[in-house]
Structure 1
Amino acid sequence: MALKNGSYKGPNWATRRTILEMLKVKGPLSSKEMADELGVSSMAIRQHMQELEQLGDVKSEDRVKGKGRPTKYWSLTPEAARHFPDRHRDLILDLLGSVETVLGQEALDKLLNERRDEQARNYADRMKQFESLEERVKELARLRNSEGYMAEVSADEEAGFRLVENHCPICAAASVCEGLCARELTVFKRVLGPDCKVERVEHLLGGGSRCAYRILPK
């Protein structure tokens, strides 16, 4: 089992990647067990484990076997999954293509519309407490940030707001399914309300460096 390239940088990256692979395959291990496997000292392993723990990739638990002091056993956290190969991107692309091929464009549109409506309901439920347009825009940015879009809000030159998304976590799917982007714009218009105009002024898939939206009060 191989980790993704670039999981770690620096002089100790090779050893850390080996440790993660070992924990992935063999389950919880003590520092001594890992040291014996790698042919290094237990102290060296403990230093690596402390650093990996700070990065959020490993956790420990004390186990007592017979008499004596408990032994610390290390295992991977769910966050460590980011260092291993992940085919979910390819799976999503294959599924979108299969839906269109097997069930037709109408079925794909129905699926995308359901996602749009569910997303709009979730956003609206979180935003209903905010009355002003500014508050709604800022809450929308917070919601998008929680989904990985790296969103930020600034004042627009036309007395409105500019919502910028510096990253698109669904870019791969959107690149083969244009309906995703179109429906996201529809969601924004719905949840921000009828008292404003929302337009996309920069589009990542249209050659822009990010997606940006101008939001103007009516």
Structure 2
Amino acid sequence: MLVGAKSTKDLILRLIKTSGRLSIIEIASELGITEMAVRRHIQILEKDSYIESVILRQTKGRPSKLYQLTKKGEDLFPKKYKQLSVELLKELKSMGQESLITELFTRRKNRLVQQYEIQTSEKTFEEKLEILTEIQSMEGFMPEIRKEKGQIHLKEYNCPYIETAAEFKQICKSEKEFIKDFLDTQEVEIKSCMAAGDGCCHYIINQD
């Protein structure tokens, strides 16, 4: 099953990935299809172990049945676990070389910014933002841009490095600095982080 495809099952998986736990009614409403059609697809996805149901008990009314991705379902989305690189980072950490790890990620960030300089030179901020969204999408971050009260909210619903980032916080800082340098702006704030257990990586960007 390919998440990039446009089948209803893939759309349901993507919707649950970006929204979190959802009921059949919510899925039907978001996709504009009948609840019966959603139930049919849900049964197949649950049988194939891509999703699982959880019961949400409320203080009033009947408990709600919600659906979330399983580990197998999460694995359908891009992940870039490179075991050798992770092991090397762990070795450096055990040797007390935290500063060297930080420098490695800083160098990587600088290299990426330089790599895209040809695409971004003489571009407006809005054009750079569009290019950044395309890059992050190709890298599997599932980005979403929203503008609110003079600020730009960048939400990324998938982290290709989440298991590594959970142990090496330098990755998250490096991603933040990459966004800041790529857009040539002075202020980028991390509002939430998947490596910290949040539902998405949420960056607030102030345009200079």
TM-score (structure 2 length as normaliser): 0.56
For 1:87 and 1:216, the matched residues in 2 are separated by 29
Secondary structure (helix, strand or coil) at the match of 1:188 reads: helix
Aligned twin of 1:46? none
Write the letter of the residue equivalent to 1:192.
L
- The answer as to whether partners of 2:81 and 2:160 remain within 8 angstroms in 1 is no
Please, what is the CA RMSD of the aligned residues? Answer: 2.8
Q: CA deviation at 1:119?
A: 1.8
Encode CA deviations 1:52-80: one digit per residue, 9 max, x unaligned. xxxxxxxxxxxxxxxxxxxxxxxxxxxxx
Secondary structure (helix, strand or coil) at the match of 1:130 reads: coil
- The answer as to whether partners of 1:158 and 1:216 remain within 8 angstroms in 2 is no
For 1:150 and 1:103, the matched residues in 2 are separated by 34
Q: CA deviation at 1:121?
A: 1.5
What is the percentage of aligned positions where both structures have the same residue? 22
For 1:192 and 1:186, the matched residues in 2 are separated by 10
Query: Is 1:200 aligned to residue 190 of structure 2?
Result: yes
Q: CA deviation at 1:148?
A: 0.9
Q: Structure 1 residues 145, 107: CA separation in 2 closer, same or farther (over 3 Å shift)? A: same
Q: Structure 1 residues 158, 118: CA separation in 2 closer, same or farther (over 3 Å shift)? A: same
For 2:177 and 2:165, the matched residues in 1 are separated by 15
Aligned twin of 2:58? none
Structure 1 consecutive aligned stretches of length 4 or more whose deviation exceeds 6 Å: none
Whose RCO is larger (CA < 8 A, sep 6+)? 2
* Structure 1 segments unaligned to the other structure (5+ residues): 1-5, 8-81
Query: Is 1:100 aligned to residue 93 of structure 2?
Result: yes
Aligned twin of 1:65? none
TM-score (structure 1 length as normaliser): 0.54
Aligned twin of 1:213? 203
For 1:181 and 1:121, the matched residues in 2 are separated by 19
* Structure 2 segments unaligned to the other structure (5+ residues): 3-74
